Amino acid sequence: MKIDTAPTLNGTSSIPFDMPTTNRPMNLGQSMNDNASRLDGIAKVTGAAKYSSDMLLPGAVFIRFVRCPFGAANLESVDDSAARKVPGVLDIDIQMKECQYNGQPVGHVVGDSPAAAARALAALKLTWKRLPVKTLITDSITKAPEPTEETKKLMAGAALSHDAVYSTPVQTHSSLEPHGGVVDHKGDKATVYASTQGTFSVRDGMGDVLGLKASEFEVICEYVGGGFGSKLGGPGKELTLAAKISKKLNRPAYLVCNRAEEHLDTGNRPSSRTVIRLAFEKDGTITGGEIRTFGGVGVAGGGGGVAIPSGRYNLGNVDKKHEDVKFNAGGPRPFRAPGHPQATFAEELMLDEIAAKAGINPLELRRKLFKDDVYKEMLEVGSKLIGWKDRKANGSQTSVMRTGFGIGAGGWGSASPGGNAEVVIHQDGSVESRTGTQDIGTGQRTTMAICTADSIGIPLSLVTVQIGRSTLPPGPGSGGSVTSPTTAPTMMAAAADAKAKLFEVLAKEAGANAADFSVKDGAVLRGGKQFLTWKDACSKLTADGVKGSASTGDGGKGASQGVQFVRIDVDTETGVIYPRHVIAIQSCGRVICRKTAESQIIGGVIQGLSFGLFENRILDRNVGAMVNPNFEFYKILGPNDMPHIEPVLWWHGQTGVKALGEPPSVPTAAALGCALFNAIGRPVRHMPLTPDKVLMAWEGAVA
């Protein structure tokens, strides 16, 4: 078999596209490409990939926001005389106003170097009058709401009941590439280098600020250093200000947030508080009750929804009410499966507590309560892979290190907002796939090439991909896991269209029917027999080649499902949890690229573990400032904290490409919480599951 090679580095070295990895034999279904490596892999491992934050253009100016240092404060006076004397300072603008959260911008400074801007910021003399702050949901909701009369009656008459409060903290996206980018306004045209999940939403939001028509500027995001939801929704305040400054000073304007600003003012997963009151029977049948949820949305008007009941389990007749609670903190933005990981933590741990009260194995209870057979099948496979038979009864172990097993489930509806794509077949046999949609690390560039190669029937090495530019055919924003379900069928249709046009050219020349032609393994067949090599066939084209295009509209694609199993060890002397093994079973329809699909699942699990174990935006309760706006004290799971993670792609005859980005991040923290309950025999209902909480629960358990 011919080795398919990737573009070369400096023209001499090449690494094969066809790079099988043999260490995941469980994924036995067939993906469109099992062995392809990421197209932009070489650019990323050599440092050649240019992100928007790498666009350090000659003559650029550097912008910094001036931000409120307190949770609530009134800016009473500004003395910028010293700041204006800092060498290299070009512009200072500060608005007097009352601020409602730490990190809220009140203005900006501009310097001709990062150091000049930083020195000007330090030289500003601002007088703030602090105001009282609220920093938690529980500052407003001081106790659990009274149950309704109906619930009281139901609980009183039930054989068993469960009444508990669960909570999750604020999690920040912590994309490693900060928000912002570079705007280079040249008067009658402009280039916007954006770190965004929506190339076209930036384009649509930029025109007015730039004072240009959409055809007069280009938004470029060839590489995006993560987003996880926080880079959706247009240019944002960062690029908007950069555009204004670039236009005003007629120089490229660079505005990229620092790490503290990322934690404070670029979105987050809102905190949650879930009050559950359910009645159930001795066999685990849940008859119903009420669930009250609260979302901690900071200063935002909403977005704190908690997706419980998830609908995956039969919970009887549940009365659900939700309320968003405001306090003095930066507001949320969509974060990988908004509302789901926090809800699943409450739902799954609640189920394990109900199972314990009813004396049923949690696996058995889920078999009974799952509505969809897919989840039940996943339970059987996953429980074997994790070794569920070795699970000990809750709290029954006596050693210092105790092992726990937990289960979590997650689902996600797939949608497709519609998009556009073009495929050009060139005279030399090379093929170009074009769609403006960005690759935020999911593998969009690679999947587009695979779709094109697969649809035409040619080796991947012939395909190049252009993405992440507003001048390319418009595609969707990378949110809601819609990108692949939208762009894959669109790109395949565009490739098929280009192929049909090639066949028309061949048919005309050969005096045959276009329908007689086909492509197989890189050769053009006529009437099923070898006719021309791909290169020879393409040489019949004119210098322009042929261009295929396709547009798709709205469409739903059904749901993706997943079940995860977690095994942990807990040190009962220190309270430290050691995750050991995670089985992540995930359905996602037809898999385009096996490696990037597995990576999505592994990544979702890691973010879920990090959420469950460590992450917590902590605000000082007196002044409302975040005390850990960094990576030392806002801990993210690192290499040393890693369990063995096994992604299992569930390919049971599903067709069509479905959501994969969000669903794997839903069940993990929940499964972790269940495993802890199993290990120490007491639930820890408030994330993150830090050693102090484990020890407090443990002391309760042995008392």
Partner 1 sequence: MPDSPRSLDEPKGFSRRSFIKTVGVSATVSTLSGIAEAAAIEHERAEETPVLGPGPVPIRFTVNGKAAQVKVEPSTTLLEALRLHLNMTGSKLICDRGSCGGCSVIIDGKIMNACMTLAIDAMGAKITTVEGLAKDGQLDPVQVSFVRHDALQCGYCTPGFVVATRVLLNDIPKPTLDQIKHALGGNICRCGTYTNIFNAALEASGQSPIMDQKGVTA
- 8 forms part of the interface with partner 1 (CB under 8 A): yes
Selected from 114, 207, 211, 558, the binder of partner 1 by CB under 8 A is 114
Selected from 228, 294, 531, 677, the binder of partner 1 by CB under 8 A is 228
- 28 forms part of the interface with partner 1 (CB under 8 A): yes
Assess contact for 67 and 94: CB atoms under 8 A. no
- 666 forms part of the interface with partner 1 (CB under 8 A): no
Comparison of 491 and 648: residue with beta carbon closer to partner 1 = 648
Selected from 563, 585, 626, 684, the binder of partner 1 by CB under 8 A is 585
Assess contact for 8 and 14: CB atoms under 8 A. yes
- Ranges of beta strands (E only) in 235-342 are 253-256, 268-269, 271-280, 286-298, 317-326
User: What token pair was written down for 306?
Assistant: 């908690």
Selected from 7, 207, 225, 691, the binder of partner 1 by CB under 8 A is 225
Amino acid in the structure at residue 35: N
Comparison of 56 and 82: residue with beta carbon closer to partner 1 = 56
The least distance separating partner 1 from the CB of residue 267, rounded to whole angstroms, comes to: 14
Selected from 3, 45, 393, 400, the binder of partner 1 by CB under 8 A is 45
249 membership: H or E segment, kind and range = helix 236-249
Write the burial class of residue 515 (CB in 10 Å: 0-12 exposed, 13-18 middle, 19+ buried). Answer: exposed
d(CA 6, CA 13) in angstroms, rounded, equals 10
Amino acid in the structure at residue 175: S
Q: Select from 20-28, 264-272, 409-417, 529-537 the region that touches partner 1 (CB under 8 A).
A: 20-28
Within residues 638-657, the interface with partner 1 by CB under 8 A covers: 638-640, 642, 644-646, 648-651
The least distance separating partner 1 from the CB of residue 161, rounded to whole angstroms, comes to: 38
The least distance separating partner 1 from the CB of residue 673, rounded to whole angstroms, comes to: 19
Q: Select from 11-19, 289-297, 361-369, 453-461 the region that touches partner 1 (CB under 8 A).
A: 11-19
The least distance separating partner 1 from the CB of residue 13, rounded to whole angstroms, comes to: 5
Coil/strand/helix, residue 455: helix
Comparison of 75 and 669: residue with beta carbon closer to partner 1 = 669
Eight-class DSSP state of 490: H
Within residues 166-205, the interface with partner 1 by CB under 8 A covers: 174-178
Question: 562: closest CA among 442, 662, 434, 428?
Answer: 662
| Residue 523 neighbours by CB under 8 Å, 6+ apart | 530, 531, 532, 533, 534
Selected from 34, 54, 323, 620, the binder of partner 1 by CB under 8 A is 54
User: What token pair was written down for 406?
Assistant: 């937990």
Q: Select from 22-30, 104-112, 155-163, 339-347 the region that touches partner 1 (CB under 8 A).
A: 22-30
- 389 forms part of the interface with partner 1 (CB under 8 A): no
d(CA 347, CA 357) in angstroms, rounded, equals 15
Selected from 249, 385, 514, 627, the binder of partner 1 by CB under 8 A is 385
- 259 forms part of the interface with partner 1 (CB under 8 A): yes
Selected from 42, 306, 537, 626, the binder of partner 1 by CB under 8 A is 42
Assess contact for 676 and 687: CB atoms under 8 A. no
Selected from 444, 470, 607, 616, the binder of partner 1 by CB under 8 A is 607
- 38 forms part of the interface with partner 1 (CB under 8 A): yes
Coil/strand/helix, residue 587: strand
User: What token pair was written down for 77?
Assistant: 């006076």
Selected from 362, 604, 681, 683, the binder of partner 1 by CB under 8 A is 604
- 460 forms part of the interface with partner 1 (CB under 8 A): no
- 513 forms part of the interface with partner 1 (CB under 8 A): no
| Residue 650 neighbours by CB under 8 Å, 6+ apart | 29, 374, 378, 561, 562, 585, 586, 587, 588
- 598 forms part of the interface with partner 1 (CB under 8 A): yes
The least distance separating partner 1 from the CB of residue 1, rounded to whole angstroms, comes to: 17
- 222 forms part of the interface with partner 1 (CB under 8 A): no
The least distance separating partner 1 from the CB of residue 401, rounded to whole angstroms, comes to: 17
- 131 forms part of the interface with partner 1 (CB under 8 A): no
The least distance separating partner 1 from the CB of residue 196, rounded to whole angstroms, comes to: 13
Assess contact for 342 and 168: CB atoms under 8 A. yes
Assess contact for 68 and 251: CB atoms under 8 A. no
Selected from 5, 7, 34, 49, the binder of partner 1 by CB under 8 A is 49
The least distance separating partner 1 from the CB of residue 604, rounded to whole angstroms, comes to: 7
How many residues at the interface with partner 1, by CB under 8 A? 83
- Give the dihedral sign, CA 467/471/475/479: positive
Selected from 12, 142, 542, 655, the binder of partner 1 by CB under 8 A is 12
- 65 forms part of the interface with partner 1 (CB under 8 A): no
- 592 forms part of the interface with partner 1 (CB under 8 A): no
d(CA 455, CA 492) in angstroms, rounded, equals 5
Please list, residue by residue across 30-58, b when 16 or more beta carbons sit within 10 angstroms of its beta carbon and e when fewer do: ebbbbbbbbbbbbbeeeeeeebbbebeee
Beta bridge partners of 547: 424
354 membership: H or E segment, kind and range = helix 340-358
